[in-house]
Structure 1
């Protein structure tokens, strides 16, 4: 695999055992993303988008196929080994924010650093919160923040480890139109500033077309793979 490729997926298949028999939710999916690239994965509900994102990020193991993340084949790793890779180079933003309600905004942002161990510099979290427009909300708890503000905290948290790749699962799905647009601007702005690779699952085709590439799924298979010109 070229060192220029941060995510390499080859013939990825995921099958679950159900009472009615095997259910294949992804079949023979292949693509590669260069470091620093941006890619959207789109398709109807049930097409396998979130399953694919989870496999790419090492949250789950494929039934068959290969996932190479930052030069490491993670499909056959144990959960602990995959967690180490995620802590090393992966950031996440989810649709439902997944903030810890008993922690302040700043404490939530610093959680990934604390998981790594060692001394945690509060200034790094405060700087990121300021970057996403929440410099004055460091001591607020999630319940004291709007949905858009909670998602911005989640974005700051995702970037605290300076990840090489950011996975976003419907990051604007729970936000109103204006807030969603502002959130998208922050995601792409931080992506450019920090040279992070972006893989985005979304129902929002306008958001998808802000990326360099749109992969479309249907019934677990890739039906189109389009490069987007932003000339």
Structure 2
């Protein structure tokens, strides 16, 4: 099985108060195409930093990240952005919907900007799949947190990404609502055959994935631990 994400000896530090604070040190792992992968660890362990590096939203001090066969370090910022637009999807804890656009527009406009034909119909189909067929013309402020995250799910899968990064996708939701969002996420992911990489503090969610990467203090504890028989 081919590897859609390869991370090798990744290191990242930030300057804080005149000192260098190492956030990640010696991180190496690979994610096979079409699998699900969880990154877990306590607050401050480097989870979100690692996700940003894997998605090309930030650059490491040393080490390499390859996504969809491309070494992110060899790409310009514009090339990394193009790669994300074409092959990568995102789901964030705080939804990140545009408040002036309806649910339908939040899903369809990014497709239209990429020249995607049938953007409106694709958006309607995805919103129907996440149970929001009757909320297409509602604005984010008119939707509950769970509904907003379901719009975000539809948007994330709209461009048919090869790999999807989810940063604490249930972090702002109550337990029942979060469970529904997780079920939809895994259902949509299985249907699309997308590779899913999730940052989460929720071990129940992590155990639904094929592999778990545990971080503590910026280092790996148990790389790619099998979580299912």
Which TM-score applies when normalising by structure 1? 0.96
Please give the alpha-carbon distance, in whole angstroms, between the structure 2 residues aligned to 1:121 and 1:198.
Answer: 23
Where structure 1 has 5 or more consecutive residues not aligned to the other structure, the ranges are none
1:209 to 207, 210, 219: 207
Q: Which residue of the other structure, out of 59, 62, 85, is the alignment partner of 2:60?
A: 62
1:54-133 paired onto structure 2 within 5 Å: 54-117=52-115, 119-133=117-131
Matched-pair contact (CA < 8 Å) for 2:112–2:119? no
Deviation at residue 81 of structure 1 after TM alignment: 1.1
Return the alpha-carbon distance in structure 1 between the equivalents of residues 45 and 76 of structure 2: 27
Q: State the match for 2:6 in structure 1.
A: 8
Q: How many residues align?
A: 228
The answer to whether the 8 Å contact 2:109/2:119 transfers is no
Task: Choose 192-201 or 18-27, whichever is displaced more.
Answer: 18-27
1:19 & 1:81 partners in 2: Cα distance? Answer: 33
For 1:7 and 1:127, the matched residues in 2 are separated by 29
Instruction: Give the TM-score normalised by the residue count of structure 2.
Output: 0.96
8 Å CA contact 2:6–2:29 kept in 1: the answer is yes
Please state whether the residue corresponding to 2:155 is helix, strand or coil.
helix
Determine if the alignment matches structure 1 residue 140 to structure 2 residue 138: yes
Verify: 1:183 aligned to 2:181, yes or no.
yes
Task: Could you tell me which runs of 5 or more consecutive residues in structure 2 were left unpaired when the two chains were aligned.
Answer: none
- SS of 2:73's equivalent in the other structure is coil
CA contact (8 A) 1:111 1:157 kept: no
SS at 2:215 equivalent: strand
Moved more, 116-125 or 40-49: 116-125
1:79 Cα deviation (Å)?
1.6
Partners of 1:169 and 1:201 within 8 A in 2: yes
- CA RMSD of superposed structures (Å): 1.2
Question: Is the CA contact 1:44–1:218 (under 8 Å) kept in the aligned structure 2?
Answer: yes
Equivalent residue for 2:227?
Answer: 228
SS at match of 1:163: coil
Distance 1:156 1:121 in 2: 12
